Amino acid sequence: MGQTIAEKIFAAHLRDTPTPENMVLDIDVIMCHEITTPIAIMDLVDKGMDRVIDPKRIKAVIDHVTPAKDSKTATQAKIMRDWARRHKIKDFFDVGRNGVCHALFPEKGFIRPGNTVIMGDSHTCTHGAFGAFAAGVGTTDLEVGILKGVCAFRKPKSMKIEVTGTLPIGVYAKDVILKIIKQLTVNGATDMVMEFCGPVVEQMDMSSRMTLCNMSVEAGATSGLCLPDKVTAEYLWPFIQEDYASLEDAVEDFSTWHSDPDAEYAETLTIDVSDLRPQVTYDYKPDKVKDIDDLAGARIDQVYIGSCTNGRIEDIRAAASILRGRTIADTVRGILTPATPAIYSQALDEGLIKIFMDAGFCVLNPTCGACLGMSSGVLAEGESCASTTNRNFNGRMGKGGMVHLMSPLCAAAAAVTGEITDPAQFIN
Amino acid sequence: MKAFGGSAFFIDRDDINTDEIIPAKYLTEITKRALQPHLLEDLFLDGKEFDTQADDFQQASVLVTRSNFGCGSSREHAVWALEVNDINVVLGESFARIFRQNMFNCGILAVELSKADIDKLFALAQGDGTIKIGIELDKDTVVAENGKGEKVECSFSMNPFDKELVAAGGWLAYADQKY
């Protein structure tokens, strides 16, 4: 019988099978940020186990609150910084070089098809866009990863998600994944790996694939995955050109990480996106999703464009296409947070930052920022935010606030009008 | 092995997420103990703020809830917030994967019961506010008893590896010994 990509990756990394259902895997990349890692570091120090399996396999960033906003966040950052120096972790990114982990680490070329990746962050599934098995874990799993280079998972069950048809103008990966979460509900993919495939996914760039995989955890999935192909190889080419004689060789090598045609799936979902409307969430769960037409006119106090879901250059370009030559509504606060310094710099080069600033946006440094209400951009009670982020839980962006998840295009349209708005009227 | 169980508290809602269990603003804490007063402080039930100071909640060491408990963030702080409030068992119809793993990694129990059994526990709680719940891990059974001596007994199945983690005192102790 054939294998899915997840089964192939698990087989290639298998260290132990404590039971037939549980697999302990060797982990290729262990990623760390300053919210969930300092407690792991301190616990290891307390227990006399202040070691790392291999500094080259560890990547670390300060991204959730940066620069530090108070003594507590300064302490968290210091624990990370001292630890990285102590263990000679070269890939450590501090103020000025730091960005949102799931945007920064792919940009640095840290993930390869077939890799196993863990991080103490639920949106680690983003890295599945490269054909890796990437899963969010808690601090104890992270601790064991740092110390031993292993992590335990249940035997993978895969869900095949085939995206067919043609995406209408103004409809993006964000709309596709919101629609999928609506169909599956918030626990429809629990304990499963969501494998995104089909012609629409094949045509997507890496940024869009990352958006899809990023939100797979919102349906409860262990991870999301895309099959690595020419698009993946082109993205990674600057980092792999010494490993392969040609791009074609890389593509062929990557194809060993494709699911076999006779692989078995626990479930299959086919979604035709040809008539898909822009999707927007209401209420406090990411599966509470409606067509934009059903929510048009709802008041918006803040617009947030950024995060590991939609803070990449492609997202900023899309939003800027609407903001160019326009100003945002007087009643709206617009916040742009480019996800990494490279994205910020690119947006400067392309004149996009000026478009946002001329429109009336405030531009923040790369950070997770308002997404989880830990630093700038927190909502007051009763306020609502049109946001390109991934989670709309009650209190997420501030107690009593409401977050409407949507694409960058929809968020830009909401900024212009001050209410949830179909971006079609602004698209040339 | 340590005993699991004690007074139970019932929260009748699906999809209680990690932001509700411990809001992000407390993630700047670097000790588990600092989380103690903030467990579930952003939880809304039937549109009302949850009373975290209620005596029966303060005294609980078992939480009984519905489906997909702990969805959302990977923050183990959500489990620690339970732990430092002396809650050692959560009974639910289902759990989010990362949260469930974090529970066992910390050496405490996430017990999955059928909806019918969870309904029975909620029904038992209707009659009398004080429910004691004991877990017999070797027999895979849950025994709940109210003040009048009325009992509900149900069985569960638990992944043997998860049981091993609990017996070892958590994943770090297990992994340090074995890998």
pTM, to two decimals = 0.97
Tell me the CB-side half-sphere exposure of residue A422, using CA atoms within 13 A.
11
Q: Is the dihedral of CA A132, A133, A139, A142 positive or negative?
A: negative
Contacts B27 to A, Cβ<8 Å: 35-36, 64, 374
Query: Both tokens of residue B166?
Result: 């609990």
Strands B131-136 and B141-146: antiparallel
B127 falls in which pLDDT band (50, 70, 90)?
confident
Interface contact A76-B30, CB threshold 8 A: yes
**Is the per-residue pLDDT at B30 higher than 90?**
no
Interface mutation target, options A16, A187, A223, A397, chain B, most CBs of B under 10 Å: A187
Q: Which residues of B55-76 are buried (b: 16+ CB within 10 A; e: fewer)?
A: eebeebbbbbbbbbbbbbbbbb
pLDDT of chain A, 428 residues: tens digit per residue: 899 999 999 999 999 999 999 999 999 999 999 999 999 999 999 999 999 999 999 999 999 999 999 999 999 999 999 999 999 999 999 999 999 999 999 999 999 999 999 999 999 999 999 999 999 999 999 999 999 999 999 999 999 999 999 999 999 999 999 999 999 999 999 999 999 999 999 999 999 999 999 999 999 999 999 999 999 999 999 999 999 999 999 999 999 999 999 999 999 999 999 999 999 999 999 999 999 999 999 999 999 999 999 999 999 999 999 999 999 999 999 999 999 999 999 999 999 999 999 999 999 999 999 999 998 999 999 999 999 999 999 999 999 999 999 999 999 999 999 999 999 999 97
Interface contact B175-A147, CB threshold 8 A: yes
A98, A65 Cβ separation under 8 angstroms = no
Q: What are phi and psi of A72, to 5 degrees?
A: -65, -45
E-strand stretches of A321-371: 333-336, 361-363
DSSP A222: S
Within the 41-70 window of chain B, which residues sit less than 8 Å (CB to CB) from chain A? 42, 44, 67-68
Contacts B179 to A, Cβ<8 Å: 15-16, 24, 148, 150
Query: Both tokens of residue A85?
Result: 């120096």
Contacts A78 to B, Cβ<8 Å: none
Nearest to A187 among B71, B79, B164 (CB): B71
B5 falls in which pLDDT band (50, 70, 90)?
very high
Interface mutation target, options A30, A79, A144, chain B, most CBs of B under 10 Å: A144
The rounded distance, in Å, linking the Cα atoms of B1 and B11 is 28
Distance from CA of B72 to the nearest CA of A (A): 7
Contacts B71 to A, Cβ<8 Å: 186-187, 220
Nearest to B94 among A19, A76, A187 (CB): A187
The rounded distance, in Å, linking the Cα atoms of A293 and A56 is 49
Interface contact A21-B161, CB threshold 8 A: yes
Interface contact A122-B74, CB threshold 8 A: yes
DSSP for A141-204, written as a single string: HHHHHHHHSEEEEEPPEEEEEEEES-PPTT--HHHHHHHHHHHH-TTTTTTEEEEEESHHHHHS
Cis peptide before A67 (omega within 30 of 0): yes
* Per-residue pLDDT at A222: 98
Query: Both tokens of residue A99?
Result: 């960005």
* Chain A interface includes B97 (CB < 8 A): yes
Q: Count of residues for chain A?
A: 428
The rounded distance, in Å, linking the Cα atoms of A279 and A286 is 11
The rounded distance, in Å, linking the Cα atoms of B101 and B24 is 20
* Per-residue pLDDT at B1: 66
What Rg value do the Cα atoms of chain A yield, rounded? 21
Contacts B30 to A, Cβ<8 Å: 38-39, 42, 72, 75-76, 79
* Per-residue pLDDT at B126: 87
Contacts B79 to A, Cβ<8 Å: 138
For A78, which residue in chain B has the nearest alpha carbon? B30
Q: Give B55-78 pLDDT, tens digit per residue.
A: 999 999 999 999 999 999 999 999
Task: For Cα atoms A140, A122, A317, give the angle at the middle one, nearest 5 degrees.
Answer: 145
For B100, which residue in chain A has the nearest alpha carbon? A138
* Per-residue pLDDT at A40: 96
H or E segment to which residue B132 belongs: strand B131-136
**Is the per-residue pLDDT at B46 higher than 80?**
yes
* Per-residue pLDDT at B128: 67
Contacts A399 to B, Cβ<8 Å: 23, 42
Query: Both tokens of residue A75?
Result: 């302490």
Residue A61 pairs in a beta bridge with A33, A93
Query: What's the ipTM?
Result: 0.96
